[in-house]
Amino acid sequence: MDGASRLYRFRRITLPLIIPSIATMALLSAIATFNSFDIIWILTEGGPRGATTTMIIDTYKDRDQPLQTTAKGAARTVMIVVFLGSFMLVYFMLLSRLAKGARTMLHKYRWYEYVLIYLGLAVFLTFVLAPFVEAFVVSLRPLSSLFSIPYKFITDKMSFDAYITMWQNVPLLWVYMLNSFFIATVVTVLGLFCIIPAAYAFARFEFPARNSLLGIFIAVNMFSGAVLIIPLFKLMQQYGLLNTYFAMIAPGTAFVIPTGIWLLRSYLIRIPKELEEAAWVDGAGKIYTLWRVIIPVALPGIVVVTITAFITAYAQQFIYALTFNSVNELNPLPVGLFQFFGRQTVVWNELMAASLVGILPVLFVYVFLQRFIVAGLTAGAVKE
């Protein structure tokens, strides 16, 4: 109406409103980068000569050292906690500002603006899907042609031989996959036993320090499992739990619970209280009401939490198995893939084939339960 162009409106109106969101995403990205362990360890193990060693990598290397070195590692862990704690305070400040300044802006776009939007989405999806496409192509190519010059995306003699030979060269590959599925399933089940009643309590009951506890839960998600490697390793060693499934299941369960509580609590809040009050009038207790009334209504949200916990548990097995287990038969898939790394060469085509096969359980779970995910994310969004 005032003649301002779209670029001016974006720079003067939209951008100031979304700065808290941009800052929050940047802060979370910085925390995730600071907590990086898997990629750095697999590619360089902190080398060459410590050039890629981070505080997380250095702490992990001190896990089984003598007491003096372990004390230094513990002190380093405290420094990491303090450092991430400062990030956490800034994050909560940004969340508070974002909640106060939230606005909804709707625009009608012209045809060329839709073209630019979808073009941007296409570029984004290209960057997201390109590694998977390249991994699939590498799995089809013979090992001798992977590093040919000039590089060819499609070459002659492409086949699915790597999907057959990988089972022969790594006979325990199916065991690694079963271990990953078993660990992720147990972590998910144990997590749900804690998540459902805890989320219900946070959504329905008033008790001291409730908001503070919720803040602590979200703060836990900012810390990588590698930060607590030394104290966890010493505890497992003291109680004789090293080289067992429990050593990999317990930390995984502890790290999926906070996120699950947050997700399910936000869903349970939208369920009308009249359902519970009607059950209480009929003489039902709180546990009976939760089991017979709330859980059936909240099933879509519980499915979302279940899938999130399963994917998280399936993806976070590397650091725990690498630290707490040295029995080859108990290794999950991420550690088992190291069998494809030889002393002189890496069998890249079989490694990519095994990696793609390894993600199939998660993919199947997501595809078959996709309708529940959509229902869980949208149900209750509009309050009647």
Q: How far apart are the first and last CA of the chain?
A: 34
The reply to whether 205 and 307 lie within a common domain is yes
pLDDT value at position 68? 46
Mean pLDDT value across residues 5-30: 67
Q: What is the mean pLDDT of the chain?
A: 76
- Is the same domain home to 173 and 130? no
How many domains, in total, are found in the chain? Answer: 3
pLDDT one-digit tens code per residue, 86-117: 666 665 565 555 555 444 444 455 667 677 77
Paired with 341 in beta bridges are: 346
Write the CB contacts of 358 (distance below 8 Å, at least 6 apart in sequence).
177, 180, 333, 337
What would the mean pLDDT of 168-193 be, rounded to a whole number? 91
Mean pLDDT of 28-45: 69
Of 57-61, 261-265, 308-312, give the lowest mean pLDDT range. Answer: 57-61
Q: Which residue has the higher pLDDT, 127 or 57?
A: 127
Same domain for 219 and 129: no
Pair 349, 272: CB distance under 8 Å: no
Residue 77 sits in the same domain as residue 205: no
User: What is the distance between the alpha carbons of residues 55 and 35, in angstroms, rounded to a whole number?
Assistant: 9
Tell me the HSE value of 359 on the side-chain side, using a 13 A CA sphere.
12
Q: CA triplet 330, 176, 128: central angle to 5 degrees?
A: 130
The confidence score (pLDDT) of residue 383 equals 43
Round to whole Å and give the CA distance between 191 and 261.
10
Q: In the predicted model, what is the mean pLDDT of residues 260-280?
A: 84
Highest averaged pLDDT of the listed ranges 38-42, 64-68, 70-74, 191-195: 191-195
Residue 38: CB atoms within 10 A of its CB come to 16
* Residues 97 and 175 grouped into a single domain: no
Same domain? 269 vs 322: yes
What does the pLDDT average to over 239-265? 88
Distance CA 120, CA 96 (A): 30
Lowest mean pLDDT among 11-20, 58-67, 293-302, 321-330: 58-67
259/180 same-domain check: yes
> What CATH number should be reported for the domain holding residue 224?
1.10.3720.10
More confident residue, 259 or 330: 330
Lowest mean pLDDT among 10-14, 181-185, 337-341: 10-14
Give the pLDDT of residue 106. Answer: 41
Mark whether 75 and 182 lie in a shared domain.
no
CA distance 199 to 195: 6
**Tell me: the pLDDT tens digits for 339-356?**
777 656 778 888 888 888
User: Which of 84, 106, 128 finishes a domain?
Assistant: 106
The CA–CA distances, whole Å, from 256 to 195, 206, 262, 288, 367 equal 9, 24, 10, 26, 21
- Is a pLDDT exceeding 90 seen at residue 66? no
Four-residue CA torsion sign, 301, 302, 303, 307 = positive
Q: Does one domain contain both 252 and 347?
A: yes
Residues above pLDDT 90, as percent of the chain:
8
Residues 151 and 213 in one domain: no
Sign of CA pseudo-dihedral 9, 13, 16, 17: negative
Q: 215-224, 275-284, 329-338 — which is least confidently predicted?
A: 215-224
Quick one: residue 207, left, alpha or beta (phi over 0 = left, psi -120 to 50 = alpha)? Answer: beta
Q: What angle do CA 178, 184, 186 make, to 5 degrees?
A: 100
Residue type, 286: K
- 246 CA to centre of own chain: 20
- At residue 99, the pLDDT reads 53
Burial of 3 (0-12, 13-18, 19+ CB in 10 A): exposed
d(CA 165, CA 266): 47
Task: Locate 38 and state its tokens.
Answer: 């898997």
Instruction: Name 354's Cβ contacts closer than 8 Å, sequence gap at least 6.
Output: 166, 170, 173, 333, 337, 340
Q: With cut-offs at 50, 70 and 90, classify the pLDDT of residue 126.
A: confident
Report whether pLDDT(216) > 90: no
Q: In this predicted structure, what is the pLDDT of residue 183? A: 93
Q: Are residues 41 and 95 in the same domain?
A: yes
Tens of pLDDT along 147-167? 777 777 777 778 888 888 888
CA-closest candidate to residue 272, choices 297, 303, 253: 297
pLDDT at residue 64 in the model: 57
- For residue 316, what pLDDT is reported? 78
Domain residue limits at 80: 1-106
pTM of the predicted model as reported, rounded to 2 decimal places: 0.73
Query: According to the model, what pLDDT value does residue 168 have?
Result: 85
In the prediction, which pLDDT does 294 show?
Answer: 86
If asked whether residues 98 and 206 sit together in one domain, one would say no
**Whole-number percent of the chain with pLDDT over 70:** 70
